[in-house]
Amino acid sequence: MTAALSATSANKTLDLGPAVELVSKEEGHRQPLAPEFVSVEDFSPLEVAYDFGRVRREDIEAGPRNIWRYKKLLPVPSTVEETPNTEPGCTRLVRADRLAKELGLKRVWVKDDTGNPTHSFKDRVVAVALAAAREFGFEVLACPSTGNLANATAAAAARAGWRSVVLIPKSLERAKILTTAVYDGDLIAVDGNYDDVNRLATELAAEHPKWAFVNVNVRPYYSEGSKTLAYEVAEQLGWRIPEQIVVPIASGSQLTKVDKGFRELGQLGLVDASPYKVFGAQATGCSPVSTAFRNGHDVVQPVKPDTIARSLAIGNPADGPYVLDVVNRTGGAIEDVTDEEVVEGIRLLARTEGIFTETAGGVTVATAKKLVETGKLDPDAETVLLITGDGLKTLDAVENHVGPKATVPPSAEAVAKALGY
Ligand SMILES: Cc1ncc(COP(=O)(O)O)c(C=O)c1O
């Protein structure tokens, strides 16, 4: 038990809602709820186990228009909405007919998570991590990040009145550095790639018992935040699970939790437990999970990332093997796409649906296209694409590809000439 937890327990009982225990992913060893992330029994990642009791659609529907409407399905206090957080979630599910036509799919929905407070799905995971960290008695919110998590952590800490310590690879996109620094926490640029930054964070987490590293020592709680994507998609479809979903992969956490979310809804009788397939998307320049899938492996060989999709540039993905399990179990597939295809994916989504995504979304759209072309996505099945981040943060990816058609003097004639009429 860490110092932070014992300090908390001495003063009050832990309230993490329906969460009852931590369970190891490999052998199912159980241990009490604590800010720990690896099982001492089998060294596999720990996951939250619940006693949900009865959860009804009506209770969820009557909840706030943010992820706390699902608080009875998350490891957060029963009074979670009473403390300041960024209140993410309830983002749009857009029926994307024009994109569907271009992709050769019958029905496509885009889950547009650019609408979150710091414009990515990371606000979901950080909100849950902050709520749990508060309960455990932590005082600082920290993370190693590929960019979006840096934004979300710094903003959530600011809103809660906490100090933040955010570690990023120094080569990150300028926009992601500025949109983190503006929240005025402690932002440290590290001379190394994300995997170096992650190792450093694990070392620091051991040295600083009051620092909650959202994706390290409170990772079991943090990662549960991604389940809300599955809950929202199902609720927005009228309490239905889509037949196919395409999810971008960095550490792989999001993909495994989307699956967990769908399964829980079925088990709780909130939806019909209909079959669905989960598909994974990576950039070829960082495609360890896609490569393992292609080769039929159940372990993931780490790689050195080299791609414009920097938010997905994790060469040694913690949840890689569990992604393979989910994709194989559900009958999905994983593909990867080149940087050129990523840019085309960004532009295709913008052109057809008016949604500007960052490189991770470009990976998702381009991978969906490839999965259709290779016959892995069923064109007749209803498909959801998770668009998890905002294009304004990765302008450098498109700046050499788009721009004004012409620069003209302020005259109608010049415009007519430029437009060719
Ligand atoms: C925009 C975006 N989408 C998807 C992901 C993938 O998340 P995960 O690490 O859970 O696989 C990330 C990770 O940083 C991200 O920033």
250 lines ligand 1 (CB under 6 A): yes
Mind listing the domains of the chain with CATH numbers? 94-119+223-398 (3.40.50.1100)
Task: State if residue 311 touches ligand 1 by the CB under 6 angstroms criterion.
Answer: yes
How many angstroms is it from 408 CA to the middle of ligand 1? 41
Question: Tens digits of per-residue pLDDT, 249-272?
Answer: 999 999 999 999 999 999 999 999
**Alpha carbons 16 and 74: distance in angstroms, whole number:** 8
The pLDDT of residue 8 is above 70: no
pLDDT of residue 7: 38
- Asked if pLDDT for residue 5 goes beyond 90, the answer is no
140-144/30-31 β-pairing: unpaired
Ligand 1, atom 15: closest residue by C-alpha:
311
Q: Which atom of ligand 1 is nearest to the CA of 247?
A: 4
Residue 54: strand, helix, or coil: coil
Q: Tokens 């906490």 — which residue?
A: 162
Tens of pLDDT, residues 76-110: 999 999 999 999 999 999 999 999 999 999 999 99
Decide whether any atom of ligand 1 lies within 6 Å of the 361 Cβ.
no
For residues 217 and 234, give the distance between their C-alpha atoms in angstroms, rounded to a whole number. 30
Pocket test for ligand 1, best of 227, 256, 312, 367 (most atoms within 8 A of CB): 312
Residue with tokens 């608080």: 71
Instruction: Measure 164 CA to ligand 1 centroid, in angstroms.
Output: 20
Ligand 1 pocket check for 394: Cβ under 6 Å: no
β-pair type (46-50, 19-24): antiparallel
Dmax (CA) of the chain? 78
State whether the beta carbon of 198 lies less than 6 angstroms from ligand 1: no
Q: What is the pLDDT of residues 322-351, one digit of tens each?
A: 999 999 999 999 999 999 999 999 999 999
Atom of ligand 1 nearest to the CA of 251: 9
Q: What average pLDDT does the segment 202-206 reach?
A: 95
User: Which of ligand 1's atoms lies nearest the C-alpha of 358?
Assistant: 1
> Given a cut of 70, is residue 409 above it in pLDDT?
yes
Q: Which of 322, 386, 372, 373 is nearest to 110 (CA)?
A: 386
Sign of CA dihedral 409, 415, 416, 417: positive
Q: Average of pLDDT values for 62-78?
A: 98
Mean pLDDT computed over 203-210: 96
Whole-number Cα distances in Å, 246 to 94, 258, 320: 15, 10, 16
**Atom 4 in ligand 1: which residue has the minimum CA distance?**
248
Q: Which of 183, 409, 35 is nearest to 166 (CA)?
A: 183
Confidence of residue 173 (pLDDT cuts 50, 70, 90): confident
| 3-class DSSP state of 33 | coil
Give the containing element (helix H, strand E) for 23.
strand 19-24
153 within 8 A of 142, measured Cβ to Cβ: yes
In degrees and rounded to multiples of 5, residue 391 shows phi and psi of -65, -25
Ligand 1 pocket check for 357: Cβ under 6 Å: no
pLDDT above 70 covers a percentage of the chain that reads: 97
Residue-level length of the chain = 421
Which of 47, 124, 125, 148 gets mutated to test ligand 1 (max ligand atoms within 8 A of its CB)? Answer: 148
Distance 312 CA to ligand 1 centre (A): 6
At 127 the pLDDT is 98
Tokens of residue 405, six digits: 């058609």
Ligand 1 centroid vs 38 CA: distance in angstroms?
Answer: 21
Task: Give 269-320 pLDDT, tens digit per residue.
Answer: 999 999 999 999 999 999 999 999 999 999 999 999 999 999 999 999 999 9
> What Cα–Cα distance (Å) separates residue 196 from each residue in 108, 167, 274?
38, 10, 41
How many A from CA of 139 to the centre of ligand 1? 25
Q: Determine the Cα–Cα distance for residues 53 and 44; give it in Å rounded to an integer.
A: 27
Whether 201 has a pLDDT exceeding 70, the answer reads yes
Tokens of 53: 């009791």
Q: What pLDDT does 12 receive? A: 64
249 lines ligand 1 (CB under 6 A): yes
What the block records as the tokens of 391 is 């294009």
CA of 419 relative to ligand 1 center, distance in Å: 40
105 Cα–ligand 1 center, Å: 25
Question: 12: CA distance to ligand 1 center in Å?
Answer: 35
State the distance from the centre of ligand 1 to the C-alpha of 269, rounded, in angstroms: 29
Rounded to the nearest 5°, which phi and psi values hold at 280?
-110, 150
Q: Is the pLDDT reported for residue 35 higher than 70?
A: yes
The rounded mean pLDDT for the chain is 95
Give kind and range of the element (H or E) at residue 231. helix 227-236
Given this model, what pLDDT does residue 1 score?
A: 36
* Ligand 1 midpoint to CA 352 (Å): 24
Which of the four pLDDT bands, split at 50, 70 and 90, describes residue 6? Answer: very low
CB 398 within 8 A of CB 343: yes
Question: Does ligand 1 have an atom closer than 6 angstroms to the CB of 18?
Answer: no
179 CB under 6 A from ligand 1?
no
